[in-house]
Amino acid sequence: MTLEPVPAPPPDVDGPPGGSTAAGSVAAGLAVERVAEPAAPEGFDLEAALAAAAASDLSAPAEPLPLPASARRDGPALNGLIDRMVEVYPPKVARKRRRQLRVNDPESPPEIAANTRTVPGIITQRGCCYAGCKGVVLGPIPDIVHIVHGPIGCSYYSWMTRRNQVRPGPGVANYLPYCFSTDMTEDEIIFGGEKKLAEAIREAHELLHPRAIAVFSTCPVGLIGDDVHAVARKMRKELGINVFGFSCEGYKGVSQSAGHHIANNGLFQHVVGTEEPDLPAVTTPFRINVLGEYNIGGDAFEIERVLTRCGIEVVATFSGNTNYTEIATSHTANLNVVMCHRSINYLAEMMETSYGIPWIKVNFLGAGSMAKSLRKIARYFGDADLTARVEVVIADELSQISAEKDEIRARCEGKTAMLYVGGSRAHHYQELFRDLGMPTISAGYEFAHRDDYEGREVLGDIRIDADSRNIEEIEVHPDPLNYRRRRSGAELAELAEGGLRTKDYDGMMREMPAESLIVDDISHRELEVLIEELRPDVVCSGIKDRYVIEKMGVPSKQLHNYDYGGPYAGFRGAITFYREIDRLVNAEVWRFVKPPWDGEPLASALDTTA
Amino acid sequence: MLDHTPVAVMERHALRINPAKTCQPIGALYAASGLHRCLPHSHGSQGCCSYHRSHLTRHFREPVMASSSSFTEGASVFGGASNLVQALGTIFSTYGPDVVAVHTTCLSETIGDDIPSIIARAREEGAIPDGKHVIHASTPSYSGSHVTGFAAMAAGMVNYFAEEPTSSRRRKDGRTRVNIVPGFVEPSDMREVRRIAELMNLTPTVLPDTSGVLDAPATGTYEFYPKGGVTVDELRGLGRAVATVALGPQASRAAAVAVENRCYVPREILDLPIGIAATDRFVGVLRRRAAYEVPGELLDERGQLVDLMADARQHLHGKKVAIFGDPDHVVAMAEFVADLGMRPVHILTGTPGKSFEKRVGTLLAGRSPDANVRSRGDLFLLHQWMKNDPVDLLIGTSYGKHLARAEDVPFVRYGWPILDRFGHSYFPSVGYRGGLRLMEKILDALLDRRDRDAPDEEFELIL
């Protein structure tokens, strides 16, 4: 099986780069670290590594780490714990919550209720549709002017708060330190805001001359009936640049998840496939898009560094450290790799249908899973040189971190973690803990769906409720000009047979210990009970929980903003995370929570004769 | 940094860029967290509550609790009444607060939900246990700013709880009661105005009071309702005070007016006691209301501040300053820097309201005649002003750090929010001691810059 660079190979290039590295990315803007030719560590046996890689089933779930005795609970004890978690709720609420609490069985994942409404009044981690659309998926693209149509708050809160880093490169605008809003007032609520929106777009164009302008609807916009799409169409015509809108009002769906879907639809309809790449710059067939990687704390930089060493070119990242042109030309990649399945699987599916690009699930978090993900990419391309190069890079990278990892592991092994966050991270980060020998005793997502827990095989069984039905499913057909099947059905079947399934994600539960506890959309109350009862050594969550957890004397690691650290992806990121966990679970501060005289009778303090 | 900001100022009519304000509900949430055993509740989409809790947590580095009506599309079409009734039942059962303080959002206000009638329905349906309270403030995100949201919830507390006075205004111990509305300030500031009032022989009711809530100690136990906060009983007794002192008109006037209307307690509307002159006015009012001479302890603090002003004046004189943030903060700071011999040349708030420009004009009294003063401004405009008329110092919230970097200007963090430094919730900016702290920060910023830029032969050990 060979793949051509897209759309046709330049005449002087006949294969993957065995020597020189991949050329600069399609867009001039991407800053790529100049890389040295990878060299294997001393004693590395390439033949053995290749044989081991070829024999491995890359789609098999990782074996769960067993629970340590201290964290093991039998069935009745777990049921008692669940009872305690829900006992203060009104009976109806307790019944609903029980459906979102599951005792795990990795062999046969239990059905969990997910992506259902949060009961009003319950203190939840969840945000809104707008946050998922603008805040997560679109917001990181630096050279689009993102205008939020609504009162000021929505734009303000999503301004520089997600740590999407970018190195825009020459000629690429960076508007990320800017916040744009129509700052809607009572007048627009009463008389409509379309005029003000059009004027705001005009002003943005006049001041900044951006490549594209995106418009995001907030709650009142839907209610007063402003048609942001009509305004966008009108302004596209008037200004001659791409202007497009998103109906991502906060009340849609049940969490950020609805916004991801709306963002995927909009990017697919308005940006992906709208430009053709600069052909002479395309020198390798190993061109991929990284989907669902938002470059929090620089993760994408590290991922790109390693991929580049391997000779794999990133066309576009959705949507960290990327730019408009990269996304517009992303239909020319030969493979989509999916990091955050929850937020971006829609685009992966649509791009496969429309352009013939297969997708595979990867996880770049954890040294072990990073290596496995690279092997997946190599296996997909099926090129001997690439495969060898990937093995050399893996060996080299691991050799650089292994000594320190072992040293940290000795201090952390057997300690326990809990993760309640996001729609992928609560799964992905378990791999970093696995590297340190720390089992995850309980985990859950903030806004994921059943497939993220149980695996995509349950997709057909998921009941579509009223909240999901309101989110548009766009109909996608093969693109008449640009559809090019990268791999035939037979080739994909052959890959699956050999241990690489495309279009697949097994979910969190298969990789978690038996009798660990799965909690969907955890509430504040449940978090408190779980920490009290299970006393984990570290809890991974977000900013709203951070100080609750630490007031209880348990270290907390934020996995939305990384506590302003990172990167944690890739090999260098992994070692940074190990150090972070070492810092957390072995910190000095907790010794001081109780004063030294705590529990000492006052009289003995006065007794100076002793 | 901020490379796309052009030097030439273009008047904008529709596009807000880099706001110097946010929306009302977050201010209401903050105010309600200063009510003892209260759970703030956001009547709107989940995202509002999530964003507000996140942002307040980033500033205070403390748990910030609040619940949401979690509107879905259905609620947005048919109204949020059943969501709020259900929420109240769940909240009292699950979190057991004494008070739930409901604030509205752009969504529920656009729909037109009538909160008092929904609360009445909830009570009828048994969602609110006897002896428990639900109060509310109307805080649509499309008017005012976070500052007016704070004002609305502070006034809401008064409107729901303050009773007409029935007992004597003078306490048995001879101390006089006074109400203080401290403004949208830090827990440390609320603690400090209480201390000053107590030094003046007064018994203050500080409303709201987030000290002891958002600066709670680490003890190994998490307290969902920390020990701080003004109590319902204290709010009921607001009518027994000799006066209500509102610190910062934009954040505090509404509550003081509400106390006056309900309880006939006269109001004193003052600037935030930031810097020497505004603190003098505050202490002067307390002295008059308490009929109590300013004690030596407070006079010594004042004297120390004057002493430092004299000691440091050569480093400050004539320095040009840009100040932005919340109107009450900016007004008081503009006066203070002028009193320090500096020249405030760009003075901006995002909160709408003409009184801001007027008050700045009065306090500066011609001391910075060409100053740019703007309410309803934004940081894009402020940046352009700084490009056109450079300054020696920028004072404002953490959002100023990008401007400071872009223009290479020393920067003092002051106001709300501060997202990238520590200590603000522990050390006050108000009062004479707060003045000392602010001067230390200003002098550190200016002298660090002087040291950084000095050639070796002018790099001085002693300054």
- We report the CATH number of the domain holding residue A249 as 3.40.50.1980
Establish if B13 belongs to a structural domain. no
A434/A424 Cα distance (integer angstroms): 16
How far apart CA A389 and CA A17 sit, in angstroms, is 10
pLDDT at A3: 63
Share of chain B above pLDDT 90, in %: 97
Please state the domain count of chain A. 1
Q: Are A132 and A424 in contact (CB under 8 A)?
A: no
- Average pLDDT over chain B, rounded to an integer: 97
Residue showing tokens 């008047």: B11
Q: pLDDT tier at A14 (50, 70, 90 boundaries)?
A: very low
Closest by CA position to A203, among listed B12, B19, B382, B9: B12
Q: Do A182 and B55 count as a contact with CB atoms less than 8 A apart?
A: no
Q: Tell me which of B2, B39, B94, B102 to substitute to probe the interface with A (most A C-beta atoms closer than 10 Å).
A: B94
Can you tell me the mean pLDDT for B70-92?
A: 95
Q: Which residue of B has its CA nearest to A251?
A: B72
Clarify whether residues B137 and B274 are in a common domain. Answer: no
CA–CA separation, A384 and A591 (whole Å): 54
Burial class (CB in 10 A: 0-12, 13-18, 19+), A170: exposed
| Short-list A31, A28, A2, A30, CA closest to A16 | A2
Residue B341 and residue B395 in one domain: yes
* A147: in domain: yes
Please choose, from the candidates B35, B65, B71, B36, the residue with its C-alpha nearest in 3D space to the C-alpha of residue B52. Answer: B65
In a domain, B375, yes or no: yes
Domain for residue A108, yes or no?
no
Domain stops at, among B294, B323, B355: B294
* pTM for this entry: 0.95
| Residue A465 included in any domain | no
Q: Is the ipTM of this complex over 0.90?
A: yes
Residues of A in contact with B381 (CB under 8 A): none
Is A97 designated active site?
no
* Chain A residues with CB-CB distance to B14 below 8 A: 182, 196-197, 199-200, 202-203
Burial class (CB in 10 A: 0-12, 13-18, 19+), A565: middle
Q: Which of the four pLDDT bands, split at 50, 70 and 90, describes residue B362?
A: very high
The per-residue pLDDT for A11 is 38
Q: Which of B74-78, B237-241, B425-429 has the lowest mean pLDDT?
A: B74-78
* CA distance, residue B302 to nearest chain A CA (Å): 36
Structure tokens at B251: 């954040």
CATH of the domain at B56: 3.40.50.1980
Which of A115, A421, A543 should be substituted to probe chain B, the one whose Cβ sees the most B Cβ atoms within 10 Å? Answer: A543
Please give the share of chain B, as a percent, with pLDDT higher than 70.
98
Both B207 and B138 in one domain: the answer is no
Q: Chain B residue with minimal CA distance to A121?
A: B87
Residue B171 pLDDT grade (very low, low, confident, very high; cuts 50, 70, 90)? low
- What is the 8-class DSSP label of residue A132? I
User: Do residues B113 and B199 both lie within one domain?
Assistant: no
- Measured CA to CA, the distance from residue B301 to residue B305 in angstroms comes to 6
CA A448 and chain centroid, separation: 11
Instruction: Give domain status of residue B16, yes or no.
Output: no
Domain contains B167: no
pLDDT of B173: 72
Q: Is residue A610 scored above 90 in pLDDT? A: no
Distance from the B59 Cα atom to the nearest Cα atom in chain A, whole angstroms: 11
Report pLDDT digits (tens) over B442-453: 999 999 999 999
Name chain B contacts of A179, Cβ cutoff 8 Å.
16-19
Which of B18, B47, B64 has its CB closest to that of A250? B47
Is residue A168 assigned to a domain? yes
Report if residue A163 sits inside a domain.
yes
Does residue A428 form part of some domain?
no
Closest CA to B52 of B89, B4, B12, B106: B106
Which is it for strands A242-246 and B67-68: parallel, antiparallel or unpaired? unpaired
Residue in chain B closest to A524 (alpha carbons) equals B65
- B274 forms beta bridges with B430
- The verdict on B239 and B359 lying in the same domain is no
Tell me if residue A131 is catalytic: yes
Contacts of A528 in chain B (CB under 8 A): 222
pLDDT at residue number B106: 97
Least CB-CB distance to A543: which of B4, B48, B57? B57
- Nearest to A561, CA basis, from A127, A177, A31, A165: A165
- Work out the average pLDDT over A132-156: 98
Last residue of a domain, one of B271, B294, B317: B294
Kindly report each contact of residues B309-314 with a partner whose C-beta sits within 8 Å and lies 24 or more positions away, as own/partner: B309/B276, B309/B339, B309/B340, B309/B439, B312/B439, B312/B443, B313/B340, B313/B341
Q: Is residue A150 part of a domain?
A: yes
- Please, which residues have CB within 8 angstroms of residue B53's CB and are 6 or more apart in sequence? A544, B29, B64, B65, B66
**A288 forms bridges with which residues in the sheet?**
A314, A335
**pLDDT for A278:** 84
Whether B166 is in a domain gets the answer no
Report A:178-197 residues touching B (Cβ under 8 A).
Answer: 178-186, 188-189, 196-197
A87 in B contact zone (CB under 8 Å): no
**Which of these three, B261, B279, B294, is where a domain ends?**
B294
Q: What is the DSSP letter of B105?
A: -
**Subunit contact A542:B54, Cβ cutoff 8 A:** yes
- Residues B32 and B154 grouped into a single domain: yes
- Domain holding B203, by residue range, is 176-294
B91 touches chain A (CB under 8 A): yes
The per-residue pLDDT for range B372-394, each reduced to its tens digit, is 999 999 999 999 999 999 999 99
**Same-domain check for residues B110 and B253:** no
Confidence of residue A215 (pLDDT cuts 50, 70, 90): very high
Query: Are both B248 and B115 inside the same structural domain?
Result: no
Q: Are strands A212-217 and A242-246 parallel, antiparallel or unpaired?
A: parallel
The residues, ordered by sequence, that sit 6+ positions from A571 with a Cβ below 8 Å of its Cβ are: A302, A306, A367, A370, A397, A398, A400, A401
What value does the mean pLDDT take over residues A132-147? 98
Residues of B in contact with A177 (CB under 8 A): 1-2, 402
**Partner B contacted by A216 (CB < 8 A):** no
Q: Say if the Cβ atoms of B110 and A593 lie within 8 Å.
A: no
Domain of residue A247, residue span: 129-253
Interval A187-212: pLDDT, tens: 999 999 999 999 999 999 999 999 99
- Cβ–Cβ gap B107/A220 under 8 Å: yes
In a domain, B123, yes or no: yes
Mean pLDDT of chain A: 93
The confidence band for A154, taking pLDDT boundaries of 50, 70 and 90, is: very high
In a domain, B401, yes or no: yes
State whether the Cα torsion A129-A132-A134-A138 is positive or negative.
negative
Residue B442 lies in a domain: yes
Q: In this structure, are B380 and B308 located in the same domain?
A: yes
- Any CB–CB contact under 8 A between B18 and chain A? yes
Both B306 and B452 in a single domain? yes
Please state the rounded mean pLDDT for residues B411-438: 98
Count Cβ neighbours within 10 Å for each residue of A479-506 and write b for 16 or more, e otherwise: beeeebebbeeebbeebeebbbbbbebb
Residue B371 near chain A (CB below 8 Å): no
Asked whether residue A214 is domain-assigned, the answer is: yes
Say whether A120 and B84 touch across the interface (CB within 8 A). Answer: yes
Contacts of B71 in chain A (CB under 8 A): 219, 250-251
Say yes or no for a CB contact (<8 Å) between A250 and B58: no
Q: Are A599 and A332 in contact (CB under 8 A)?
A: no
For residues B377 and B345, membership in a common domain is answered with yes
> How many beta-carbon pairs below 8 A join chains A and B?
254
Structural domains in chain B (count): 3
Tallying the residues shown for chain A, one arrives at 610
- A window 246-265, beta carbon within 8 A of B: 249-255
Name every residue whose Cβ is closer than 8 Å to that of residue A586 and which is 6 or more positions away in sequence.
A411, A412
Q: What is the pLDDT of residues B258-291, one digit of tens each?
A: 999 999 999 999 999 999 999 999 999 999 999 9
Q: Give the residue-averaged pLDDT of B116-128.
A: 98
B219-222's contacts with Cβ under 8 Å and 24+ in sequence apart are: B219/A551, B219/A593, B220/A551, B220/A552, B220/A553, B220/A593, B220/A594, B221/A551, B221/A552, B222/A528, B222/A548, B222/A551, B222/A552, B222/B63
> Given pLDDT bands bounded at 50, 70 and 90, which one contains residue B172?
low
Q: For B298-354, write each residue's pLDDT tens digit.
A: 999 999 999 999 999 999 999 999 999 999 999 999 999 999 999 999 999 999 999
Q: Does A562 touch chain B (CB under 8 A)?
A: no
Average pLDDT over residues A439-446: 98
Do residues B278 and B250 share a domain?
Answer: yes
Question: pLDDT band at A352, cuts 50/70/90?
Answer: very high
Q: Which of A278-287, B361-370, B454-463 has the lowest mean pLDDT?
A: A278-287
Which of these is catalytic: A146, A149, A260, A486? A260
Is A260 one of the catalytic residues? Answer: yes
Residue of A131, A154, A232, A258 marked active site = A131
